[in-house]
Amino acid sequence: MKAWLLRHNIPFAANVTKKALFNTFVTPLQKKKYNIYAVKKLAKEHGSIILRLPPYHCGFNPIELVWGWMKKALRDRLSGDDKLSVVMSATSVTLNTLPQTVIRSFLDHVWKTETCYASLNG
């Protein structure tokens, strides 16, 4: 903390403890005042919105739909064989057989979901 304060020319007592520095410089900050997303503000100024996505949500992340498709296809293809070499080979073959129409449907699904949620973001 002291090194950062020195680099930014912020004065403090030489014999001050880390706890005292924390209480002096960090504790008084009002979190909500500094919890503004600059990108969100910039986007709003240009007529756009930032839609924060929940992680691993298949409605917003097309890769989750791909993983779901892959897992089902692999279950059907492997029939219980779990040898690493067989699984790796089947994964490569299965991924290469993922139809473009299915990929397009995943992207369309995400677009519709995003559009629906964005309209709620008044």
For residues 95-119, give the mean pLDDT. Answer: 91
* The model's pTM: 0.54
Q: What is the pLDDT of residues 26-53, one digit of tens each?
A: 777 666 665 566 777 888 889 987 777 7
Q: What is the pLDDT of residues 58-69, one digit of tens each?
A: 788 899 999 999
pLDDT of 70 strictly over 80 = yes
Cα separation values, 66 from 31, 44, 54, 73, 97, Å: 38, 32, 17, 10, 12
Please tell me which residue, 105 or 5, carries the higher pLDDT value. Answer: 105
Per-domain boundaries in the chain: 2-35, 62-120
Q: What are phi and psi of 47, to 5 degrees?
A: 80, 20
Helix axes 62-78, 100-120, angle to 10 degrees: 140
Q: In the structure, what pLDDT confidence band is assigned to residue 57 with cuts at 50, 70 and 90?
A: confident
